[in-house]
Amino acid sequence: MYRIAYIDDEEDVVRQFQVNMMDDFIVLGIELKADIGEMIEDIITSRVSGVVIDYNLNSSQSKVHYNGVDLIRELLSTMKDFPSYILTSHESEAENTLLDPDYIRDKKFVSKEKEFFVNKLNTKIESYEKRIELLKKELINLTKKYPNLNSKEEERLIEIDDILEKNSNGYEALPSDMKKVSSDARLDRLIQLSEELIDELRDDKND
């Protein structure tokens, strides 16, 4: 059962969603913050596998000056393709924001077609996690070749580090200044990360 976040400005709506999805997901409520950047940090540090966001986030909180589309766009700019949905009673209004319609779901439809929605979100999460695991394995294979990497392989190693930094919860990427200043230090750090990932994958298999 995946752990997801549900974000809404009304606590009773959050509780209702938790009750409705209790057989399918572990649902975490994340308190709204006035600063959208803090919200992104809270989502990332919550270590959830996906997020569902209400379109209207300021019906009861005047401090919030962004909506669900603003939040999901900010999230996707940080964590590309992160499993996400906007729930709305105003589907056409949300679609007019030019957000990919695949991220938008009508609340009534979700209520009537709960099984379909659950399957779609589970599929998104599974696909996302498989992509991340493939990148981690590629990083491991490249770091095994160290210090005999050619320039293209080193570039790919750094590229994967950048991707995982933006897309993988809990992945501690290198500081950008280190990437620019010291290739040896950067690669040494990636070797360490690779060893940690090998241990992590080994533990997953044992489970």
| Per-residue pLDDT reduced to its tens digit, 182-203 | 456 556 666 777 777 777 767 6
pLDDT tens digits for range 39-72? 998 998 888 999 999 988 876 666 888 989 899 9
Confidence (pLDDT) at 170: 56
Among residues 78, 112, 146, which one ends one of the domains?
Answer: 112
Confidence (pLDDT) at 120: 94
Confidence (pLDDT) at 182: 42
DSSP category for residue 9: S
19 and 89 part of one domain: yes
105 and 134 part of one domain: no
Burial class (CB in 10 A: 0-12, 13-18, 19+), 193: buried
Task: Grade residue 143 by pLDDT with cuts at 50, 70 and 90.
Answer: confident
Does any domain span residue 119?
A: no
Does any domain span residue 182?
A: yes
Q: Considering its fold, how many domains does the chain have in total?
A: 2
Does any domain span residue 118?
A: no
Range of the domain at 132: 127-206
